[in-house]
Each structure stands twice: as C-alpha cells, then as structure tokens.
Chains A and B, each alone.
Chain A
Amino acid sequence: MSASTQALSPPHRDPDTRARLGWTLVALVLLWPLLVLAEFRPWALFDAGNLRVMGSFLGGFLPPATSTEFLGYLLDATLETMAIATAGIALALLLAVPLSILSTRALAVSKIGPGPGRLGDRMARAAGRALLTFLRAIPEIVWALMFVRVLGLGPAAGVLALAITYGGMLGKVYTEILESIDTRPARAILEAGGGRFAALAYGLLPNAAQELTSYTVYRWECAVRASVIMGFVGAGGLGQLMDQSMKMLNGGEAATILFVFLVLVLFADSLSATLRRALA
C-alpha cells in the first residue's frame, strides 16, 4: 500500500502556516494599542509611593476593627443592604409582572385568529418588549449614580436602581418562562372566551409558578451583591461604608467589612439555595 503514495513528494510546508502567522500578526498589532490604551504598566505596582500606600493599608487589615461603635454601624449597614435588595426586588416585581403579562405571546388573544384589536395587541407586545430591553440595558450602578444625583445619598437611589434594572431582567425572563411551558391550557381558556388573567391564573401559573419563584429567589441573591456594589456610588448599605473606609485608608475597617460582605454573600447563597430546594 505504500509504493504508490511514497512516490509523491511530501509537502514542504504546512498549508495553515500563512493563516496562523497572519492571525498572530493581527493579534500582536491589535494588542499593542490596547496595552497602550489600558495604560498597562505593571511596574506601577512596585512604585515606591504605591507600595507604601498599599502596604500601610494592607498592614492596617490586622487587626480588623472591632469597636462597638463601628460594629453598630456595620450591623446597620448590613441590614440596610439586605433591605435594599428585598425592597428593590419587590418594586421590580411591580414593574416586571404587568410588563411580562403584556408582552408574552402565550396570552395573546390575537394569536387565536383574526379579530378586532389584533394590530393593537401586537404593538403593545412589541412596546412591552422594547421597554424591558431598555430597562435592563443600563447597569444598575449607572442608574444608582444618576438617582443619587437627584435623590441625594442614601438607600432610596439603590432601591429605585434595582427596581428598574431587575424589573427589566425579571420581566424578560418571566416572559420567556411563560412561553416555554405548555401553553395549550391557556390557549384553551382564551379560545373559550376567558380573559387574559383567567388564562394566566388557571392556564399558565400552575405549571410555571415553581420556575418563576425559583428565578425570583435567584435574582434576590444577585440583588444582595448588587446593593453592596451600588453603595460605592453612595446608594447606602455596606458598599457605602466600605467606600468611606477605603477613602480614609482605614484598613482595619475595610477588613471587617470585606469579611462581613463575604459572609453575607455566602448567607444569601445558601438561603436562596434552601428556598429553591424547598420549592422544588
């Protein structure tokens, strides 16, 4: 079997070489300006001034701050963070539920067949979807930054920012969940002349309730993290406290807050996991 093919001379070059070389060059040519733009200067880490600042800050981590007064602030901020997340999700639901009912195809009367109001129905659905997209396109921390400008420092900005972004996210996912389950019961109710809410309550919710709740609980867990982060722009809670400690280069306080933050996130994780397991 070898005699016939061995007569052919072997190829001298890998045919992929040119492409590989080309892409490597392109990558290098692109990488250079990116490094310049990002002001990539690893040696800045070893700059004497920076080292001193960071060193004394990290050195201050030990011992963590444990004064009663500070712990009182900390407890207050932690509760505030949880409250912001919970209230934000509650308001987000007020936004998400009507919008998802409006925009889900599973409840579209017009899908049944031609009839009056078909065009309006479809336009309302499109508008609902567009609004949901817009709401979640901008990160919650940007909303928070802007609300702080209007409402001043404090948790109100965080709650509203969460309500808007998470309203958009929840609304989108609710819409998808309602469309992904078996929609025939709802269709049957609509065809029998039932209203939108009857179709939702008796046709869709029995099948979708568990998934909807589970996703909401998961989003609450994310909201806890988000509400800490939003504190950095002044929207209250743990983040605001951490921002202040860091600006004052108080390592001990920062260490305690970081620790509490990690515990809080773990707690939210396990609480949400427990709740979701209880639902399943």
Chain B
Amino acid sequence: MGFELESAGLTHGNGFRALQRVSLRVGRGERVAVIGPSGAGKTSLIRLLGTALRPTEGRLDVLGANPWRLSAGALRRLRARIGTIHQSPPIPPRLRVVTAIHAGRLGRWPAWKGLLSLLYPVDVAGAHAALARFDLADRLFERCDRLSGGQLQRVGIARVLYQQPDLILADEPVSALDPALADAALGELVAESARSGASLFASLHAVDLALKWFPRIIGLRGGEVVFDLPTARLTDSMLHELYAAEGAMLPVQARDAAAGATTDPEADAKVIRLDTSRGR
C-alpha cells in the first residue's frame, strides 16, 4: 500500500487550518497528481505524508504503518523509504553535486558510509546514472552554487530517485523548469515509478502536465478535497470551478509542450503571461 488518510486535518500552531477532513487512499505503484490554487494546502498535504508534520486530527498510514506510533528507529527506517522532492531543493550551495546526490541515501547507509562519502564519493557510478537521466551527468563534480535554478531543481529530483524510495512525494517538482524540460523530468519520474513500483504523489501547478502524466487527479481547495477522479472523468467545468478564484484561465505549463512543439517562441510567451497572471 502507498498511503491512506482518514478524515485527516492539520491546524498550524497559529490556528490556521491548512487541511481538513482529507480522506485519501493511494495504492502501491499508483500515480496521483494533486492540483489546486495557491494556498489550497498542497504543500501541507505533502509534508503530512512525508512525516514532516503530524496530523492534528484523523488517521495517517504511510507504507503500512502509522508513523507517529513507531519507535524512533522504526520511524527512521520508514522515512528512508519516503522520498520528498521539494519545490526549492534544500541543498547547501557549497556542496558538490555528487555529494548532494549521495545525501539521498543517508537514511539507508550506515553512518560510516555517509561520513566516508564526504571524503571520497563512494558511489560515483550510481550518482552518475541518476544525473544522466536528467541530462546533468557532466555536472557530477561541480559545486551546486554553479548550477542554474532549473539545474538545481533537477539535481533535487535526481537525489530522490537515487534514494530509491517506495513512495515518491513531489511538491511542484518542475516549477523552475522550462516546458520541455518539465515535461521530460516528469516523464522520468513516471518511468521510475513504473520501473520500481513506487507510488508517486505529486502536486503540480500546471494542470496540463497533471492531465498528461497522471491517471488520477485530486483537486484541493481551501484545505479540502474537491474531487478525486480518474483523469478521463475530469471535465473542463470541474477544473474551472477549482481555479475560479484565480481568473478565467487555467494555469498550464505550455499548451504545446505536450505535443513536443516547444521550439515555438509563442509557447514561451504564453508561459510568461501565465506566470505573471498567477501572481508569482
């Protein structure tokens, strides 16, 4: 099983209700995208599933265990099986790419191996393979502060793939990538999930990417699940209703990206307009 939430809720310390009455069940190997306007609670949901936050009400079950009833050691072992891709990769700028990738497996490696890898990278080939999937193999020994924002975001994804988790959580994993790269990177994530059987749960701002790559879509607004449907049964009016507060246009990465016609300068112009209209 991937994870299960039963009428879970999350109220922050300042009294803000980020999530309420969320009930979800995602099976092993399933691929689900969560979409919704800014502030809908997508990040909170991901952090809840990543055991970074504890639900204030309801029940949470991740990879067959309630993380908050486990012993410290068991919780660590559980966390090692969950890989979270953060929107802005939390990688220290002075770290080398190879070390940043290796950090993904710190939960699986014994401590001595982690320490040794700081002095001499223990698994160059593995890190190289993970980077190669995102066209970054030649950056293996560069320092992370020499990378662009988009490259760093892909390093963040590669780190999680290198971790080989059973559950991949992704919080807007391609927000800093141009349409073609975003599409390819999501493709790699989906391929990894298909290959390893890991469940993939991704929040996405671009509706078109969600529709293209995910068979099941969850709409989130105001901390509540608005719909939870197979992609085929999703209608335009449902989407428009979800984003009603953000104006008439749906946030998309690029209309043509899915068709692979990204060389069209028009597409880039559209993205820029969309970006500004989202108030980012």
Contact = CB atoms under 8 A, between A and B. Distances in A.
**Do A and B touch, yes or no (CB under 8 Å, in the complex)?**
yes
Given A1-B188, A2-B132, A10 B119 contact: no
B128 interface: yes
A37 interface: no
Contacts of A2: 132-133, 135, 188
B141 A10 contact: no
A223 B4 CA distance: 68
A17 B98 CA distance: 13
Interface in B100-135: 119-121, 124-125, 128-129, 132-135
Main secondary structure of the interface of A (DSSP, over half): loop
Q: State which size class the interface on B falls in.
A: 10 to 19
A14 interface: yes
Contact of B141 (A5, A6, A16): A16
A1 B124 CA distance: 20
B134 to A, nearest CB: 7
Contacts of A13: 124
Contacts of A6: 129, 132-133
A12 B133 contact: no
A15 interface: yes
A11 B188 contact: no
Q: Chain A, interface size: which category?
A: 10 to 19
Nearest to B135: A1
Contact of A14 (B124, B132, B184): B124
A2 B161 CA distance: 14
A1 B133 contact: yes
A20 interface: yes
B63 interface: no
A29 interface: no
B41 to A, nearest CB: 32
Contact of B124 (A5, A8, A12): A12
A10 B137 contact: yes
A14 B124 CA distance: 8
A5 B128 CA distance: 10
B60 interface: no
Nearest to B98: A14
A15 B96 CA distance: 12
Contact of A11 (B120, B140, B184): B140
Interface string A33-61: 00000000000000000000000000000
Contacts of A5: 132, 135, 137
Interface of A: 1-2, 5-6, 8, 10-17, 20
11 contacts: A1-B134, A1-B135, A2-B133, A6-B133, A10-B137, A11-B141, A14-B98, A14-B141, A16-B141, A20-B119, A20-B120
Given A1-B187, A13-B124, A20-B120, 13 more contacts: A1-B133, A1-B134, A1-B188, A2-B188, A5-B135, A8-B137, A10-B124, A10-B128, A10-B132, A11-B140, A14-B124, A14-B141, A17-B120
